[in-house]
Structure 1
Amino acid sequence: MSRTAGGLALTVPPSGNAPGYVVDVTTAQLELSTRRSGTSVLATAAGDTGALRFRLGGSWQHATRVTGWTWRGGTLTLTADTTADGATVEARLTPSADRYSLDWNVKGAVPDRLGLAYDLKSAGHWYGHGEAETPQGGPGTDQPWPLDSGEVVHPSFSPSSYDMIDPFWYTSSATGLRVDTGHVMDVSINGGMDGIGRFDIESADPYKATVFVESTPLEVYRDYVGIVGKPARSDATYEQYAKPVWNSWAQFYTHVDQARLLDYAQDLHDNGLSGHTLQLDDKWESDYGNMTFDAKAYPDPRAMSDKIHQLGFDFGLWVTLWINLDSDQYRYAADHGYLLKDAGDTTKPCTVTWWNGTAGIVDLGNPEAKAWYVGRLGKLMSSYDIDGLKFDTRFFDDKCAPHEGYQPTDYQRLGAELADRFDLQGVGIRVHWDSTAHRAGFVTRQVDKGTGWNSLRASVTQNLAISTIGYPFVTTDMIGGSSSEPPPSKQVLVRWAQSAALQPLMYSSTSPVDTIDVTTGKKVTYDRQTIDLYRKAIARHERLAPYIWDQVRQTVKTGDPIMRPLFFDFPRDTAAYTITDEWMLGPAVLAALQLTDRATRTVHLPPGIWYDVNHGTVIHGPRTLPAYPAPLGVTPAFVNLRAQGAAKALRALRGADDPVPLALKTPSP
């Protein structure tokens, strides 16, 4: 700890694998700048924005001049004036080898929000966050990568959000920010293209954050996973990684019945479109929450289940904890205290409006309510030979009050514990923010996407975002998208299937045989090439399954993501930090899928010796291929010949009977 011309410098020397760093504290107006090897790698916002900011009486205030400081017990404590009369800030910085904690609070006033603000460009590019709400349509049709390349305006960034999110961000300068809170946040990253990152908490509780300082972004990610936990196992089985699950939602939406579902299953079977499971999604219940089949639409659900099994599929069902007010089970659940209570009036059930009406939510914090719900699920599954479930909707809502003894964040854990009792059939579940969700090893599916090119591209960058906040078993939204839009074009559907084939799991719905245009009610038929190319994508993914399963087992050991940005493996390759349409699948496979309607694309290869799967050539990187041919039938993929698993990946991508290239047999120099 030392004085400088502008204030104070807190120095942490290098040790072990930690690079060391310096935190400079400006005292004229409280600001923090982190340096590594003499270079600034993260700095708070300056000027009127304020670094440590709070909202009081509807107006934003911030810390100004540092009025005192102490260094005691390994903690630097700072006091500062603020722009609000009578209010001061006390901040505490506690350093360790590769990070420092920053917690602070306001004295002399009771604000309703506390926040940190950063100068985005001080750290290079920003990543993390998870599914991002944006003015351009995110997360459904937009997911900026890196985050600062677009705008993120996410005012209800919450543990109970339906978005897959965590309060963790990392940067190209190998710094990171974790905010330790269970409260709702208001996050803005480059909102209005202002170059500022604002991370505000809707609470007057002390603001607690951790700033990581490492040598590479991957090490920052590992630091974060060291806190929240890595998967203890994979919830999905080998077969669920190897083959797609087929779900009825984008194929029919709610216009589904027994005859349509069986015709769908028969078409898939007859056209060699394999899968491990066929799931009946929304609109099978007589009313939402009844857990009984609509007798008119499903005259014999057990016979339907038997036929699906005969065709070689497991049978799955969509379920929710939300019980609509018109369900015959709502009154029973309300009278027995099985529903979450209203936060404003705990004498009555909390009601929430969703895409299917108005509902109450089963309170998983109430052991009797949980037992009642699980018992009903068990009876449903045994009666109709149902193999697994797709849990949808949230387990909590911010309008509701948690059960006595619980906090809102506990419902992520309670939901994860509930879901962990059932086979989720490779479509996973949307729980986040809690270490139980990280450690459970669930497959994570994205929020619904549209059916156009922009959603296909967003599905890729969104998986990169989700997998690098600690949820490594990712799948896109249903191949081809949904969101009640016209069906995807042939090109979008095929490209999406090709893209998913080089990701950990495939989540299918729109049939490449034919589908229904929900906007017109008319049947849409695809051509034979669509079927053949989709089937080819499934076959490629199945051949890759042994390699992918190796990555699953490695992730259980290390926590590292399977699908990840190029710069995780090649941190010194500066071009890799802004690439939006390439990714690594484990250490050996680089996917460079065509995500537009063009027949060529630019491919960037990082340093290494790469085998071009399509052309059978060896390329020494780094190298940029400016007009790589990628017509509809071509899936650009490259194998890093010096990476672990290269031989297995190469056999899968080329075909088992193709000879291994000489370059792979040649030992490294």
Structure 2
Amino acid sequence: MRIYARDACETLTIEHSCEVSVSRDSRRARPVSRRRTSTAVVTAALLAVPLTAATTPSAQAAPAPAPARSGEPAPAPAAATAVTVHQNDRTVTVATRGYEIDIARGPFAITTRRAGRTVLATAASGAFDLTRADGTHLTPTAVRTATWADGALDLAVATSDPAATLTVKITPESDRYRVLTGVTGATATASALRLDMASGGHWYGHGEAKTDAEGEPDTRQPWPLDAATGKEQVDDTTFGPASYLMTEPFWFTATSAGLYVRTNDLMHVSLGRVHAGVADFEVTGTANLDATVFVERTPRAVYLDYVGIAGKPQSIGAAPAQFEKPLWNSWAQFYSTVDQQGFLDYARSLHDAGVLGHTMQLDDGWMTHYGDYTWNSKFPDPKGMSDQIHAMGYDFGVWITQWINLDADNYQVAKDKGYLLKSKDDPSLPCTVTWWNGKAGLIDLGNPDAYRWYEDQLRRLQADYGVDGFKFDTRFFDERCAASNGLDAAAYRRLGAELARQFDLQGAGIRVHWTGAQKYGFVTRTVDKGTDWASLNAAVKQNLAVSVIGYPFVATDMVGGSDSMPPPSNEVLVRWAQAAAVMPIEYASTSPLKVYDFVNRTWVTYPPEVGRAYAAATRLHAALAPYIRDQAARAVRTGEPIMKPLFFRHPDDPKAYTVADEWLLGDSLLAAPVLASGTSRDVHLPPGAWYDVVRHRAVNGGDLRGYRADLGTVPLFVRLGAPDTPRLLKVLR
């Protein structure tokens, strides 16, 4: 009996398996060696059927690897990979030196193993799912044919429709494999990959999580992603490059597997919500799916694999002073009721109390209408206000958006000149969308004249009023509108990023995301938060979630939260400031002196100890600033996160995978601030020797139960024996 691996290996006898070398540069496989197989392989060969060629072509069949899309990084070349392919009447197996892919013929399933251990598997309910225009579904049933050629395995898989065939191309490399799918004999409008969540253990990545729970994502963020239950499980039907949420088509697991879906189309992502125990990754508007599965030794290695595709920051998106002191923004202090005198009093009180800050930023409430870059009557002398802010030693910034409300003077101007995105239904009309401040049009950055018109208005604010920088609070595209000039959502993201990077973003950064946006190096402020303990915990988890999808310069959205809730309690405000002190960037709003409660319509004056503890937290961050700036430089060199989960440095510590209220700042400082009411908490230290900054003692890894931390105390631990140990001990002792 002979086994045939067509166009890849010479004809083989049953004593040999087929080993070929595959590289991304040259897909033509070639024999590189012959070796004796184990008894198991010989047995498999005796049962084997020939690998045969699939014969049914179709426009919707699995495509060849596509070139990079607009603004998207191209895949990097890979080193040659030795591959062994064999099959029997039950399975087809593709093995590299690092992992194996087992394809069950029927029911069709794909299981990925490393060192004999399953690290990722498709769902028992079906590996893939195709949706037709009428809403009916096609599910794969059994492998009809399997062909190894040109460094890839081509499968033709029968489906629930006898006339339709799922085509699957699997291309293995040393630490990953690419999966391209399509369909013949039917037309599909969406294509989904379904994975068994339990096979990967704990799940991470994704970014800010949209769920069906009330208050999400302002008060909830699962960490790990599989920790959520019921309505708190991820279920996002608008997962895409134009989403306001910071999301990324990348996930990874505690088993050191990962998934990257290469698309600029809208996705529907469900992590256990639609189908219990199943991670559903559906790409809409296409019958094809393009996914890469990573198989590594550690989760951090999977993260770095994705950074190798998406890119690392090309620059640091904040000035040195913005890593040292907090940005003060008016939003939670005033909301849109802010006026000139109140804003000046706010700035002066913080200045006189010795609370550090680098910028005073005026949020929503200054425009005559949303989209008009003119001052309303609450600001009789904006240039004089700017001058007074500068005299206190602060920079001055304002909030801006690209939405232009229908009642704005600029709306008619932009409409008449064709500067707004057009309606999908009637391209002769502007697209009208609803955002949190009403109905509006959206400036079409794909129109060069509109781009310049918008940019010129920002330049005039700088020239006429001494505005040093801006808080961009906007979407650059909306999928409900029609794109212009052949652009897609990712291209609009790129245009928005290139516009924003011309200005000082003042530590508030900008919320752009999706594969390739990492290169801009913007500060990322996570989504608005409430003012309670749940919101503080969500802020920490979202910072971790955004960090591990490739955006290292993270800040929680406003120390103390906002979200039109009553002001934070004494404890929440101080503990939030302490947590932010050991994050890359501090972004503040609620004054630790006095704030207006817009819910109960009364002023809240914080006791003096709150102001003192808050000021101490800002000084702690300032002391750590040189260390943080070095981590920022490292992020540019390598893509390494600054704020990272414990298991990035300690992958062999099982407890590290579920710790959601501690993190590493760099590799050498473990932060365990109090994130709940009270004056104590449990602390988990990974294996090794640590210095307890509060108790001035060396401790070994393990669990510290009931660690005492009064309102002025931040539990911090320095890893002993690390290159950064001496400098951290000098600063923190």
The TM-score range, normalised by the shorter chain, is: over 0.9
Give the structure-1-normalised TM-score: 0.95
The whole-number CA distance in structure 1 between the counterparts of 2:103 and 2:287 is 23
The whole-number CA distance in structure 2 between the counterparts of 1:106 and 1:631 is 62
Moved more, 271-280 or 639-648: 639-648
C-alpha displacement at 1:193, in angstroms? Answer: 7.9
3-state secondary structure, aligned to 2:172 = strand
Query: What's the counterpart of residue 664 of structure 1?
Result: none
1:173 aligns with 2:259: no
* Kept in 2: contact 1:412–1:434 (CA 8 A): no
Query: What's the counterpart of residue 134 of structure 1?
Result: 211
Query: What's the counterpart of residue 719 of structure 2?
Result: 640
Query: What's the counterpart of residue 359 of structure 2?
Result: 277
Q: Counterparts in 2 of 1:258-277, with a 5 A limit? A: 258-277=340-359
Amino acid at match of 1:628: Y
C-alpha displacement at 1:6, in angstroms? Answer: 2.7
Q: Counterparts in 2 of 1:446-461, with a 5 A limit? A: 446-461=526-541
The whole-number CA distance in structure 2 between the counterparts of 1:252 and 1:630 is 32
Which of 154, 168, 176 is equivalent to 1:91? 168
| CA pair 4-625 structure 1, distance change in 2 beyond 3 A | farther
Query: What's the counterpart of residue 163 of structure 1?
Result: 245
C-alpha displacement at 1:203, in angstroms? Answer: 1.9
Query: What's the counterpart of residue 29 of structure 2?
Result: none
* Kept in 1: contact 2:89–2:105 (CA 8 A): no
Query: What's the counterpart of residue 621 of structure 2?
Result: 541
The whole-number CA distance in structure 2 between the counterparts of 1:631 and 1:142 is 26
The whole-number CA distance in structure 1 between the counterparts of 2:675 and 2:274 is 27
Query: What's the counterpart of residue 43 of structure 2?
Result: none
Query: What's the counterpart of residue 320 of structure 2?
Result: 238
Query: What's the counterpart of residue 279 of structure 2?
Result: 197
C-alpha displacement at 1:283, in angstroms? Answer: 1.1
Amino acid at match of 2:681: R
C-alpha displacement at 1:331, in angstroms? Answer: 0.8
1:347 aligns with 2:428: yes
The whole-number CA distance in structure 1 between the counterparts of 2:89 and 2:210 is 42
C-alpha displacement at 1:457, in angstroms? Answer: 0.4
Q: Counterparts in 2 of 1:31-430, with a 5 A limit? A: 31-46=109-124, 49-56=125-132, 57-136=134-213, 137-150=215-228, 151-191=233-273, 194-294=276-376, 296-430=377-511
Q: Unpaired segments of 5 or more residues in structure 1?
A: 14-19, 655-669
CA deviation string 1:303-325 (max 9, x = no partner): 10011111111000001111111
* Kept in 1: contact 2:138–2:161 (CA 8 A): yes
Amino acid at match of 1:121: A
Query: What's the counterpart of residue 35 of structure 2?
Result: none
1:526 aligns with 2:597: no
Amino acid at match of 1:305: S
Query: What's the counterpart of residue 17 of structure 1?
Result: none
C-alpha displacement at 1:88, in angstroms? Answer: 1.2
* Kept in 2: contact 1:608–1:642 (CA 8 A): no
* Kept in 2: contact 1:339–1:363 (CA 8 A): yes
Q: Counterparts in 2 of 1:455-604, with a 5 A limit? A: 455-604=535-684
Moved more, 186-195 or 34-43: 186-195
C-alpha displacement at 1:434, in angstroms? Answer: 4.1
The whole-number CA distance in structure 2 between the counterparts of 1:290 and 1:354 is 16
* Kept in 2: contact 1:460–1:476 (CA 8 A): yes
* Kept in 1: contact 2:255–2:298 (CA 8 A): yes
Query: What's the counterpart of residue 626 of structure 1?
Result: 705
Query: What's the counterpart of residue 519 of structure 2?
Result: 439
CA deviation string 1:160-192 (max 9, x = no partner): 110000000000000100000111100000216
Amino acid at match of 2:252: Y
The whole-number CA distance in structure 2 between the counterparts of 1:3 and 1:50 is 21
Amino acid at match of 2:111: S
3-state secondary structure, aligned to 1:329 = helix
C-alpha displacement at 1:60, in angstroms? Answer: 3.0
* Kept in 2: contact 1:413–1:434 (CA 8 A): no
Amino acid at match of 2:732: L
C-alpha displacement at 1:650, in angstroms? Answer: 2.1
Percent of pairs with identical residues: 51
C-alpha displacement at 1:522, in angstroms? Answer: 1.5
The whole-number CA distance in structure 2 between the counterparts of 1:555 and 1:204 is 35
The whole-number CA distance in structure 2 between the counterparts of 1:239 and 1:486 is 31
Q: Unpaired segments of 5 or more residues in structure 2?
A: 1-84
CA deviation string 1:463-501 (max 9, x = no partner): 111000010100001000111111111100000000000
Moved over 4 A (4+): none
Amino acid at match of 1:243: K
3-state secondary structure, aligned to 1:309 = helix
Query: What's the counterpart of residue 662 of structure 1?
Result: none
Structure 1 vs Structure 2 CA RMSD:
1.0
3-state secondary structure, aligned to 1:409 = helix
The whole-number CA distance in structure 2 between the counterparts of 1:279 and 1:115 is 44
* Kept in 1: contact 2:249–2:515 (CA 8 A): no
The whole-number CA distance in structure 2 between the counterparts of 1:54 and 1:583 is 40
| CA pair 417-573 structure 1, distance change in 2 beyond 3 A | same
Amino acid at match of 1:53: D
3-state secondary structure, aligned to 2:337 = coil
C-alpha displacement at 1:542, in angstroms? Answer: 0.1
The whole-number CA distance in structure 1 between the counterparts of 2:600 and 2:337 is 12
Amino acid at match of 2:537: R
The whole-number CA distance in structure 1 between the counterparts of 2:274 and 2:726 is 48
C-alpha displacement at 1:85, in angstroms? Answer: 4.2
C-alpha displacement at 1:616, in angstroms? Answer: 0.2
Amino acid at match of 1:358: K
Query: What's the counterpart of residue 75 of structure 2?
Result: none
* Kept in 2: contact 1:587–1:644 (CA 8 A): no
Query: What's the counterpart of residue 7 of structure 2?
Result: none
C-alpha displacement at 1:232, in angstroms? Answer: 0.7
Amino acid at match of 1:255: T
The whole-number CA distance in structure 2 between the counterparts of 1:12 and 1:519 is 61
Amino acid at match of 2:532: G
C-alpha displacement at 1:221, in angstroms? Answer: 0.4
The whole-number CA distance in structure 2 between the counterparts of 1:486 and 1:113 is 43
C-alpha displacement at 1:4, in angstroms? Answer: 4.1
CA deviation string 1:357-406 (max 9, x = no partner): 11111111111111111111101111000110000110000111111121
C-alpha displacement at 1:5, in angstroms? Answer: 5.7
C-alpha displacement at 1:108, in angstroms? Answer: 1.5
Which of 1, 11, 25 is equivalent to 2:95? 11
CA deviation string 1:79-137 (max 9, x = no partner): 01111342210000000000000010122122221100111010111000000012334
The whole-number CA distance in structure 1 between the counterparts of 2:320 and 2:544 is 22
C-alpha displacement at 1:158, in angstroms? Answer: 1.4
Query: What's the counterpart of residue 658 of structure 1?
Result: none
Q: Paired residues, what number?
A: 643
Give the structure-2-normalised TM-score: 0.87
The whole-number CA distance in structure 2 between the counterparts of 1:398 and 1:497 is 37
Amino acid at match of 1:51: A
| CA pair 138-649 structure 1, distance change in 2 beyond 3 A | farther
The whole-number CA distance in structure 1 between the counterparts of 2:612 and 2:731 is 18
The whole-number CA distance in structure 2 between the counterparts of 1:260 and 1:84 is 67
The whole-number CA distance in structure 2 between the counterparts of 1:263 and 1:530 is 19
